[in-house]
Structure 1
């Protein structure tokens, strides 16, 4: 569906990488790319199990973590939930609360096959993490609605065919906490 080239949106979220297809957290030497979909139950499990470890690695400046919120599973909802949730995460990035929003959206993940959360429900999830007025306006105005298809097309061009997908310094690693930690340690060791 998104395999064709997508033009870079004119307006991308704050904190994106140079390619405009991911939100960058941290500035450590080891690069981790995490391709996620807010509709994906395995992505929620990945965040619940590996998220705290990744957060610590970002905080201790061991990694640079780039999240690529995809619209891979739009067809698993009746209202393009993957696209809308990913676009809302872009609004959260604009408000400086991307990671906090990511966690709360996954904690409130709707089942596959249904309508997904409404825009108003996505907005309401921003309140407990400190996202208010401008966030609500960003979601309602669909400021980043063209960003998830771009992220998804770029991921497809990189041969990402499932979520979650994790790359450590460009090398595919199974999205398991222990395996990611081992790959990061090896990459740090190789750097001396």
Structure 2
């Protein structure tokens, strides 16, 4: 028979061992395939700006996965954001590190980000408006992606949610398969329409 103090000790330590297993447990991570990338020099962003947005998106994705303990929804969001980060900046440090960690079943730590989610959502939405004004296939594509992400990040942002809903009603949802499983170079006019919406 187990002495009472040992039974109490086991009862107290059991939750810690279970949570440790959950945190270090394996989860299903499918690495995004970005190929040659969706965006070329035609995109209306300087390299430095592309890098900054890639950093912010990858940082948000990392914290989202860490806070949600690698829930399936957080991993789906992270896959999209890591892919987009790598399309914007193929050698982005944060995106590459996060992709590596998740592919090995390593849960990232929550780190302070550059922006809170609601602030990042506003920045993405504002930048989407500028991209739409610039025109062109790549700018329009990234504008649509930024709108959808900003609405998901901050559902209280009425402007972003409205724009995302209008996009959906117009049949212009982002085709995330084209973003996460890309095989070609930057899109040509009229190219890339596929299942799940327009890329």
**TM class, shorter-chain normalised?**
under 0.3
Structure with larger Rg: 2
Q: Which has the higher contact order (CA 8 A, sep 6+)?
A: 1
TM-score scaled by structure 2? 0.24
Q: Of Structure 1 and Structure 2, which has the larger fraction of its residues in helix?
A: 2
Q: Of Structure 1 and Structure 2, which has the larger fraction of its residues in strand?
A: 1
